[in-house]
Structure 1
């Protein structure tokens, strides 16, 4: 009985072996690269072509092909080489011009967002290419990770002290001054008490919940709330309107809830917040305990109470049916009471911007005993 002829021995250096084993350890390595690495390592160990083919469930010609590539070019021969085919009709420079063309704004034309067909016409008119199809242009945009049809909004803050204000507020979020509390205060206005004209149809296997489009509007409410950023406790009050008197009455509730010690209030630049005379008189009545901090212009994201309002909108308002203003107010008060049963602060991870000098900010490290717990917010 004849024995299989042993192929020429393939010996790999320690560096090449380590490189191939690293490929096998990587879970994101392409399957073809992992297969070639296994073939190379088995050939290095002296296994025959038939045994390798049987072990890896591949054909003998496959093992022979990669053995020849290893013998000729080493480990580099395991990579894909240039394949024969028609050369590219659009060179890299033209591709970059097409990407730049797709990123241009179109305010000077009839529409602000050009279609693929219009981009093809522009490319020909400007002499970038002689001809290109919309499918070819789409593949070029996808390869360049350019999606001009998608837009993400942002809001610029014109506040000249933007960095200083954000850093000061973030410092209060990380640690409250000794003996004081930090409250994030704001109003959520125009909360509509909407009753659905017809009841919802419950979800079933293979069928989504169905929500009636028509509704009956019963009025609106305004929610004024204060969040203790270090304990998670919430104070809230619902009113029919948002007036200066309503806000002052709510702040009196805050003063009664925190009868002693300094109180740092973080809120935005609303007109009722900027009434200097009103708040000077309010502070004088309470011994000057309140310190007011204003977020930068167009930077409501710095105020943590907005996170709470987002949870409130998802848990109480979204897809809800409120038969009256009183019903809406009851559910709002129940939401606040439920959170106060097990209050948890938000985990505020943003520490602030670098200083104007370019030096990195020095973070305050709390000891084990005075560190404020910051678990994830409940949804």
Structure 2
């Protein structure tokens, strides 16, 4: 004799349609599919024991969801809110450990240059901020606030007294502005520099191509085949590169690059060609400006601030060259290296688009304000 449940389930056509879709779904969580099947079977009048046997679940599970649905409908099939285990640590303790992560270990008289989650956990216990804590908990807190004290980035604090005006005029050129006036259609901005000491490395053994479950392998040992310098001029608005190679850096090879660019159209007939360069020996100081103007009257050499090559767009191109054309390569001679550089340059010019440069004068002003606050904080801490 079948035992009928006291919780009768009666479905409207709309409810039955929703539950049938859930019962067939391959994307919903399995628990939601099972709950829908329980309710549909209950609506057909099947006893709890039969439903449990058909779905291979415990009969108590069937009773629970039949009762829930009878009382609350579709909404009752969702999980109830769970309060979870009471927190072990207070928000204040978490904040104290995060603050410690933002403090150099030297300030704690520790012989460390950087924190790890393990070191922070040990120091928190030593300072009695907590009774005990695992490194995993510390790491989870720091990840929540994107604090990574075990990482660092090298940087150079701007020391050029004219950093702001020099950087601003370069950013204006990238925005096609010079001295508050827009550049004309026959005016161009060139970002130029040289990549020195490129080595022709000939691997002792051929590399191994990648395969299933195996990354590409490059022989570690090599023979040196000499070095050369790669000079490149990058048109920041047309994404075109003109480059040359030379045994070494210097005024003469940079002058050769300038001549190659300035005799090539559209630069040969341009009204002005602005050359953005850093303060390297090949193009440093007022003498380089005069030298360029004398050789090419339409060329305007524009120097970046000292230690601000990160504002030179050609450095992005050099990074691409390094990653795609040189790193891991095998070059028996300097001729092979030169051939690779110039072939990559042609390939790049065939498809390249201008870099999506977004750093503006406003970003520069924000950067300088942060630096000013940093200096004030440093002076205050020293006092």
Q: Is the TM-score greater than 0.5?
A: yes
User: 2:323 aligns to what?
Assistant: 314
Partner Cα separation in structure 2 for residue 34 and residue 297 of structure 1: 63
User: The residue matched to 2:323 in structure 1 has which SS?
Assistant: helix
User: 1:291 aligns to what?
Assistant: 300
Matched, 1:168 2:177: no
Whether the 8 Å CA contact 2:191–2:236 is kept in 1: the answer is yes
Partner Cα separation in structure 2 for residue 304 and residue 333 of structure 1: 19
User: 2:369 aligns to what?
Assistant: none
**Structure 1: tracts of 5 or more residues without a match:** 12-19, 359-379
User: 1:81 aligns to what?
Assistant: 81
Shift of 1:33: 9.6
Whether the 8 Å CA contact 1:170–1:350 is kept in 2: the answer is no
Aligned residue runs from structure 1 range 177-188, under 5 A: 177-188=184-195
Whether the 8 Å CA contact 2:262–2:268 is kept in 1: the answer is yes
Aligned residue runs from structure 1 range 235-314, under 5 A: 235-257=242-264, 258-261=267-270, 262-286=272-296, 288-314=297-323
TM-score (normalised: structure 1): 0.70
Partner Cα separation in structure 1 for residue 84 and residue 351 of structure 2: 66
Shift of 1:92: 2.3
C-alpha RMSD of the superposition = 4.4
User: The residue matched to 1:236 in structure 2 has which SS?
Assistant: strand
Partner Cα separation in structure 1 for residue 335 and residue 10 of structure 2: 86
Partner Cα separation in structure 2 for residue 313 and residue 356 of structure 1: 28
User: The residue matched to 1:168 in structure 2 has which SS?
Assistant: helix
User: The residue matched to 1:217 in structure 2 has which SS?
Assistant: strand
Partner Cα separation in structure 1 for residue 245 and residue 364 of structure 2: 42
Shift of 1:239: 0.6
Shift of 1:79: 5.0
1:86-126, Cα deviation, whole Å (9 max, x unpaired) = x4432222122222223322134212124545433322332
Matched, 1:128 2:129: yes
Partner Cα separation in structure 2 for residue 110 and residue 129 of structure 1: 22
User: 2:336 aligns to what?
Assistant: 327
Aligned length: 337
1:254-280, Cα deviation, whole Å (9 max, x unpaired) = 221132122122222324323323432
User: The residue matched to 2:352 in structure 1 has which SS?
Assistant: coil
Query: Cα 1:141–1:83, aligned 2, differ >3 Å: closer, same or farther?
Result: same
User: 2:372 aligns to what?
Assistant: none
User: 2:356 aligns to what?
Assistant: 348
Partner Cα separation in structure 2 for residue 161 and residue 214 of structure 1: 47
More divergent stretch after superposition (67-76 vs 129-138):
67-76
Whether the 8 Å CA contact 1:171–1:351 is kept in 2: the answer is no
Whether the 8 Å CA contact 2:167–2:304 is kept in 1: the answer is no
Query: Cα 1:218–1:100, aligned 2, differ >3 Å: closer, same or farther?
Result: same
**Structure 2: tracts of 5 or more residues without a match:** 13-17, 367-383
Shift of 1:250: 1.9
Partner Cα separation in structure 1 for residue 88 and residue 324 of structure 2: 55
Shift of 1:192: 1.0
Query: Cα 1:94–1:206, aligned 2, differ >3 Å: closer, same or farther?
Result: closer
Query: Cα 1:208–1:247, aligned 2, differ >3 Å: closer, same or farther?
Result: same
Shift of 1:48: 6.5
Aligned residue runs from structure 1 range 94-113, under 5 A: 94-107=93-106, 108-113=109-114
User: 1:365 aligns to what?
Assistant: none
Shift of 1:226: 0.9
Whether the 8 Å CA contact 2:232–2:244 is kept in 1: the answer is yes
Partner Cα separation in structure 1 for residue 119 and residue 201 of structure 2: 44
Partner Cα separation in structure 1 for residue 363 and residue 174 of structure 2: 13
Q: Higher relative CO (CA 8 A, sep ≥ 6), structure 1 or 2?
A: 1
